[in-house]
Every structure is written in structure tokens, then in C-alpha cells.
Structure 1
């Protein structure tokens, strides 16, 4: 490592500065007091100031009058908030690489723009591979939700929606709008459907216009839920009249999702027996044990 030394003859008490090359960390110390420096910079000090990275001087760091400079480089420690934002960005990038999109906030225009852009990007990269959309949201803006829903229907890739935590209100619409057969939920998820919320104020005609718009939104939601749940419009309209909470199993029965994730498997829709009877023929295993150690499996079934 190259080591440079610089000294100024115009300083009564000679001060020396040592610098590592530009790939290292710059440090400077002097035993001279501030009063020892000339009022005008000399040629040597001018060279010093222009040749090395900018430094900040902290006179209070030494009561004897000496000073220490610290290099303002990119190696300075980050604040916790900055580091957290960087970690979140890195995590989202890694998830996108695995074709995973995460909806984990209240749905508004900003969140919808982010989700839509990620879905369009992944669909443009490879429309033949599934996109997994994880949902943990209490719902939010209906217009922002419908924007996400329409893009979910638009993209060519299959979108597997996976609910965890909570998929309530408008978030349940996105959950149910995933590709049929690939709409899932974690075992402890709560799913809730209800009619749209809203209010109106102003002149009588304005209140009437807003009331008609709210009824239009309600009818639209009823139609969507009926289309992918297979239930009658009249029944759906009655079901969403008040908040209706469901467990994942109840959501499967209602038609919002298709299965429940349990570890690496999906709980099937038909009842699972409490005890499974073994089907192995131990008599055949004793006669020809090698047959069971090396089963004859077709190559197209190996994955």
C-alpha cells in the first residue's frame, strides 16, 4: 500500500500528514495548535487540500488544541431508517426474482401502482411461469383494488393468490380473482367479505349521484364474487350485507379459495381419514427387497 507524506515548512511546529492511497481510509492528525497555522494557505497546504478527499475538522475533539479529520466517504455508517429501507428494497428484489409479489399494506393508489408494475414486469419477462401474489391486507380503496383486479385478469401468466394473516374487504376480491385452482390460504388466515363503504354530502342531487355510484359498486362486487364462487347473485348480496368472516376451510366451501396450505402440501377438499392403512406387501418385500430399493419409475414422472 502506497504511503504519502506531506509537511509544510511554513508551520512553526512541523506537522506531518499521512495518507493511504485512494482505496484506503484517509486519516490525519497533528500535534500543532490552530494558532500555529499561517493566516493564508501556502502552496503545500493548497496541494494538500486539492489532492485528497474532503475532510471535516472537529476542534472540540481534543482539548489540547490538536484536531483530527475524518474522511467523508461512502463508508460512513447508515442511519437505521436508511438501512431498513435498503433491506426492504433488497428483499423485494429477491422476491421478484422468484416471481413473488407481496401485498402487505392497506390498498391505495400508491400500493396499487407498485403491485401493477410488478405484475406487468413479471408477465413480460415470462408469461408461461406462474406469479405468486401473497396477500396480507385489510383492504382499502375500491378503485385501487379494481385496478389490481383487472391487471390480474389481464396478464397472460397464471397468478396464484395466497392469503396470510388477513384478506379482508377489497383484499378478498383480489384473493378470489386469482387463477382458478391456484387460490390458497395459510391455515390461520381470516378472510372477510362485505359490501362497499362510503358516504355523501353536499346538495341533494350530489348525494343522489353518490348513492347511485355506491350501489353500482355494490352490484359490481356481488357480480364478481358470484362469478368465481359459483353462488347465486341473490345469495352473495345477502351474505355481504354485513361483515362476514371466514376461516380458510369456510372460504374453500364458499368458493373464494381452492385450498389451504399446510407445510408443503395443500389440504384437499375431500375429508382426510384419521388413520391411513399401510398398503405395502411385506411378504413380497422379503422375497425381493431390491425391487423396493430401486423402484421402476418412468423418467417423465421424476422431478
Structure 2
């Protein structure tokens, strides 16, 4: 078996996979029936439908013929297939980062809107370099200096999405614990709070804080990110970072559940103006 690292999936590859799953379902065919009718290996078909493999053009043409798609749709999906490996966001050092993280960076790069709830951390897109370095050192105590600096560099590069044209729309909700915990010490946290106040002046960035006084809330089960993309045909995505590994969720029921959870958190959190006031108070308290 090759130990060559595979490229992470792209938004276009996920879109193609989702459409092929939908077309097979509409044709009322099982994977086994498709494999028998086309000669396409069942494992290969499974990997294609899970966005783990890019179908060769002849394989895609065979599937589309079986599913009876229109000529317009065939040309559209062939165009998606031809660009499904495009990963212009990759940097040389990204090969040193965990595969799940490079996949996340790729999805985030192509997203239109990111809705991020964090219970313990300041969201990566609005962290200062000092805070990012302190967090990474604390969370990954065995990481080498090189590994830490690569992750810090990746995090700082991601923030360019907020100022590109058109900019990424970011809606972040954080628990008050994220701004009260002294990551790196009082001075660093003052800088971080001031940075958040500055960043949230941009019209594409919204920040809400859930104060301690609100008590228990739906977000206490853990942090998550919900993304959608400029093309409505591209499936929405939820990312959950767990101790057992990173999860990328895309089933309709899962997307609805996390969207509903985010809406509940929006309702319980302070509004953007009151959240800014709380940040300002936290900054003054450490002066």
C-alpha cells in the first residue's frame, strides 16, 4: 500500500459526489446494481460517492448514461469533474499539517459564510498571533517548535479571507469563558480583546458573547462550525473537532440540527453591541 498522502477533498468534489448519490437514488438503484450494470468496482463507486476519490471521465460518463441525465446536466457535471482537483489554496508547508486541518482550510477558503461557535477558545479567524501561539502550545504540549509555527502561520493566513473580495462572512458566537481564561497572560488577553473589537467593526464580521449569567445552554456540548458556499449546488458542511478526531458532517438531518443549535445560541447570546461592551469591560479589567 502506498504511503503517499492523498489531497483533501474539495468543495467541487463534494458537490459531484452528492449529485451522483442523488442521481442513483432517483434512479432507484443500489450500488450493487450500478456495479453490476456498469462493471465499476463497488469499492470504487463507494469512494466516488463519499468524495474520497475523483472519478475518471469515462467512469463519470458511464454513470451519467445509466442514470439518464440530460445533455445540459451531463456537461455541467463533466465541468465539475474537470475542476474537482483544483487546490490553489494549498501551500508547500501544508503537507506537514494534519490532513483534516488542510481539508478544513480548503473548505473554509471556498465558503461564503462561516458560523462558528466556540466554548473555550477565541475563533481562529479572529485570533492574534500571540494568542494563537499560546493556544497551540497549550493544546499540543508535545509539538515541536516547527509544528507550532506552521500552525500559527496557517491560522494567520486564513484570516486573509476576511479582507478578500468578496470577503468571507463570519458570524462567531463564543462563551464568556473564551475571553476570561488567561491564555498567555493578562497582557496578551488585553491585546486579543482589543483585536476582536477592531475586527468586529467590519460589516462582514459579527461577534456575540454568551455571558456566564445565562447559565446552561445548548453550546455547552462542544464547539462547531457551519459553512455554506456561493453556489447553492454545493452542499453545506458542519465541522466538529472532537478528542476522537475531526468530523465533517453533511447529511441533511445533521445540517438542520446544527443550524437550529446555532440559532438557539444566537438567541441566548448578547447582541453584537452588548457583546462589544462586555469585551471592553474585560479589556479594562486587565489594564
TM-score of the superposed pair, with normalisation by structure 1:
0.25
Flag the structure with larger Rg.
Answer: 1
**Structure (1 or 2) with the greater helix fraction:** 2
Which has a greater percent of strand? Answer: 1
